[in-house]
Amino acid sequence: MPIEFEAPKPILQTQFILKTVADEMMRPRSRYFDEHEHEIPWDYIEFMHLAMKASSGSSLAPRENGTRKMDGEKEKHPSIGYQLIATQIESLAYGDLGMYHCLPGGALGAAAVHAAGTPEQKEKFLARFKDDKPTFAAMCITEAGAGSDNSAIRTRAVLDEKTNEWVINGEKIFVTGGDKSFSEYEKLGKGFIVVWATIDPSAGRAGMRAFVVEGGTPGVKIVRLEHKLGIRVSDTAAISLVDVRVPSDHLLGSPVVVERSTSGFKGAMATFDATRPLVAASGIGVARAALEFLKEKLAENGVQIRYGLPRQKLSNIEREVIDMEIMLKSAWLMVIKATWMADNKKPNALEASMSKVKSGDVATKITQKVVEILGPLGYSREFLAEKWMRDAKITDIYEGTGQINRLVVARQILGYSGSELR
Ligand SMILES: Cc1cc2nc3c(=O)[nH]c(=O)nc-3n(C[C@H](O)[C@H](O)[C@H](O)COP(=O)(O)OP(=O)(O)OC[C@H]3O[C@@H](n4cnc5c(N)ncnc54)[C@H](O)[C@@H]3O)c2cc1C
């Protein structure tokens, strides 16, 4: 099946609509929420919730069959579910990467249910995102000492056979949207966090399982919200779990530990195969914002990019801009390939990590270069260029750092396992 380079109509429509959202709802608030860290952008959340309900659904999660309704019509196969989500995320991150993280919906939490849950669990846990109130979910895998190597997690889940409940104890850090997913806010629906824990520490990766912990469950505490370099409007929570009890069917997938099988860990990896290209898309959105701003400022100063001239006839600035445009386009094509593979149910671990590596690099380099070329204008808080530079770096860190995703790529190409190449 060939990759189609002409964007389908729903994608073009999405880009058009979300450009207005980015320009009208997000950009004017970017600086305010950067300077008022942890304040919740309620009007944006409520607007986006209503807008998503009125259009294609109530969250950016793909439909179970990978198709989405646009214009009231059902998409014909082949599915473009993930490609459409990537486009939406790129467009929203172009508006503001931090505010994109405040978009109601299941985010990584729902992605984990999608990747590791049974059909009944998907039905049970994902329906809430269509409710009347905006609702959030988050995923907690990272712990102190267990980030890149998340098989080293120490959070423990033990089955209490008398009550048929799992009892979870541990500490999680850097949970995106953890507060909005777990704490009770009058304006929000009841969310959940997906907690990765081991049910058998001696089994290593085979013992890892994900548990849905409903908002408000006793024993869970939001310990703090991190103060960050960028995406400061996005809440990033540290969470402690002390004797947290969840029903046995809140374990996603199978509780049976098969020795040396990595089935539990595979649930985490399947989540990342779906979400890494989407993080890549978000990095591209920020980079595009910076690059377009640079071109605007150059044009205001009489510098037009003369496309089509031989390279040696171009000015240095023109060459720099064109090189950045090439970087951006090639990164986007990798996102399209990885999401196209996901849409067509092809294994995409290699392409997902490649797209994440490429985009993390491109977003970091372009936003930094834009600040550099703009000089004082780039460094000043009068404009958003310096903020985009701070925001962009996270796309090279979360959901596998650039280094870790390079390792994944190398393992996939060379045929090594995680223990053979680390
Ligand atoms: C704002 C923010 C939001 C986040 N959101 C979430 C979330 O929602 N849920 C969640 O579970 N986690 C989340 N994280 C955690 C994030 O995924 C981890 O920080 C990331 O995976 C890195 O893990 P670490 O922090 O343990 O760093 P470390 O693993 O200690 O890495 C430190 C450095 O060492 C490098 N390194 C590590 N191992 C190797 C290796 N084998 N080879 C080469 N280099 C290596 C890394 O690339 C990195 O540069 C978030 C983090 C941040 C900052």
What's the mean per-residue pLDDT of the chain? 91
| CA angle, 281 then 287 then 290, to 5° | 150
Residue 57 pLDDT greater than 70, yes or no: no
Q: Output the CA 374–ligand 1 centroid distance in Å.
A: 31
State yes or no: pLDDT of 73 exceeds 80.
Answer: no
> From ligand 1's centre to the CA of 405, what distance in Å?
11
Distance of CA 417 to the CA centre of its chain: 26
Could you tell me if the CB of 225 is within 6 A of ligand 1? Answer: no
- For residue 255, what pLDDT is reported? 75
Ligand 1 pocket, residue 254 CB under 6 Å:
no
**How much is the pLDDT for 257?**
61
* Confidence check: pLDDT of 324 > 80: yes
- Is residue 373 within 8 Å of residue 294, measured between CB atoms? yes
Mark out the alpha helices in 202-348 (DSSP H runs): 263-300, 316-343
pLDDT of 61: 56
Residue 390, phi-psi category: left (phi > 0), alpha (psi -120 to 50), beta (remainder): alpha
Predicted confidence at residue 150, as pLDDT, reads 82
Residue environment code for 390-412, b if the CB has 16+ CB neighbours within 10 A, otherwise e: bbbbbbbbbbbbbebbebbbebb
What does the pLDDT look like over 95-106, one tens digit per residue?
A: 999 999 999 999
Paired tokens of 167: 């009892």
- Ligand 1 atom nearest residue 149's Cα: 29
Is the minimum distance from the CB of 144 to ligand 1 under 6 angstroms?
A: no
Q: How confident is the model at residue 78 (pLDDT cuts 50, 70, 90)?
A: low
Please tell me the predicted confidence (pLDDT) of residue 77. 55
Taking the CA of residue 140 as reference, the ligand 1 atom at the shortest distance is: 11
Burial class (CB in 10 A: 0-12, 13-18, 19+), 352: buried
Residues 6+ apart with CB under 8 A from 323: none
Output the pLDDT for position 65.
Answer: 45
Estimate to the nearest angstrom the gap between the alpha carbon of 58 and the chain centroid. 17
- 70: pLDDT confidence band, cut at 50, 70 and 90? very low
What is the per-residue pLDDT for 63? 54
Q: Are the C-beta atoms of 299 and 312 separated by less than 8 Å?
A: no
Q: So what's the pLDDT on residue 74?
A: 52
Does ligand 1 lie within 6 Å of residue 397's CB atom?
Answer: yes
SS3 221: strand
Q: Residue with structure tokens 């510098």?
A: 303
**What distance in Å separates the CA atoms of residue 43 and residue 125, rounded to the nearest whole number?**
26
Please list, in sequence order, all residues whose beta carbon lies within 8 angstroms of the beta carbon of residue 289, skipping any fewer than 6 positions away. 93, 94, 95, 384, 388
pLDDT higher than 50, residue 69: no
Is any ligand 1 atom within 6 A of the Cβ of residue 401?
yes
Active site residue 165: no
Q: How far is CA 315 from CA 305, 351, 417, in A?
A: 9, 35, 47
pLDDT at 2: 62
> Which tokens in the block code for residue 311?
């390279």
Helices (H), 131-262: 178-182
* Confidence (pLDDT) at 261: 54
Q: Give the Å distance between the CA of 269 and the centre of ligand 1.
A: 15
To which residue do tokens 């380079």 refer?
A: 5
Residue 29 to residue 45: CA distance in whole angstroms: 13
pLDDT of 332 higher than 50: yes
Where is average pLDDT lowest: 66-75, 95-104, 186-195? Answer: 66-75
Which of 75, 226, 351, 399 does the annotation list as catalytic? 399
| pLDDT given for residue 34 in this prediction | 98
Residue 71 has a pLDDT of 44
**Cα–Cα distance between 48 and 187 in angstroms, integer?**
13
Supply the residue whose CA is at minimum distance from atom 48 of ligand 1.
401
